[in-house]
Amino acid sequence: MENSTTSLDISSRGDVLISSAVIFFVAFFGLIFNILGIVVVLKNPVLRNSFGTMCLSHSVANSGVLFVFFVYVAPATYIQAEDTMGLLNKILGQINILFWDACVYSHLAISCNRLTSIAFPSRVNFIFSKENTFIIIGLVWFIACCHIFPYFWYDTCYIYYDPFSWTWNFASTECGFVISTYTDYYTSVAIFILMSSVDFATLVLKKNQILGLS
């Protein structure tokens, strides 16, 4: 019985090491490539337009998510941190949600920009002017901030990382149910469907243009 328990402990520890290593390296290289993407957008004159600016917003949001995983999730998984319900964990969960939502909405804005470029090439510079682009990006981050507003009630509304199950979990409260179901799950599904529809429409229009030229 002791041998089987020891083998199980060794196996479990091995899984923890693998999972923490995967999280660490994915976050590390993801950060590197997103930072490179930010540098490219800032340095390349070709990307000094609405598309490049939105890609910059997307890369910044991506970097924020990856930074949380790099500095907290990977180490917490490795050491199997037990203070999962602490304030720091909840604050980092809140920050992670902020960057994640900003990433999702930035992606939607990029999709709309692509569709407009294909469908209305003569109007794209007007629709996505410099001023309008800044307004759109401002809205993206404002909506992302609205998502995390309930999370300031750290006793009842929060999301935390559990290093034992390697998952992010919402509070087992009425508020936790609301934010997990409506402001996270349903909203994410709706944005994914909308984004996929816009991208599909862009693909169809582009294909028709190519066929028309040929």
Q: What is the CATH number of the domain that holds 170?
A: 1.20.1070.10
Beta bridge partners of 184: none
160-198 per-position pLDDT tens digit:
999 999 999 999 999 999 999 999 999 999 999 999 999
Q: What is the pLDDT of residue 211?
A: 80
**pTM score:** 0.89
> Is it the case that residue 137 has pLDDT exceeding 50?
yes
Give CA separation, 154 vs 159, 170, 198, in Å: 9, 11, 36
Per the model's pLDDT, the better-predicted residue between 213 and 86 turns out to be 86
How does residue 127 score in pLDDT terms, banded at 50, 70 and 90?
very high
Structure confidence at residue 1 (pLDDT): 43
Average pLDDT over residues 130-136: 96
Q: Is the dihedral of CA 72, 77, 83, 84 positive or negative?
A: positive
Total tally of structural domains belonging to the chain: 1
Q: Is a pLDDT exceeding 80 seen at residue 146?
A: yes
User: By residue range, what is the domain housing residue 138?
Assistant: 2-213
* Range list of H helices, the chain: 2-43, 50-68, 74-79, 87-119, 124-127, 130-148, 174-180, 187-213
Taking only the tens place, the pLDDT of each residue in 6-24 is 443 554 888 999 999 999 9
Query: Which pLDDT tens digit goes with each residue over 43-87?
Result: 999 999 999 999 999 999 999 999 999 999 999 999 998 888 899
pLDDT at 34: 97
pLDDT at res. 5? 43
Percent of the chain with pLDDT over 70: 94
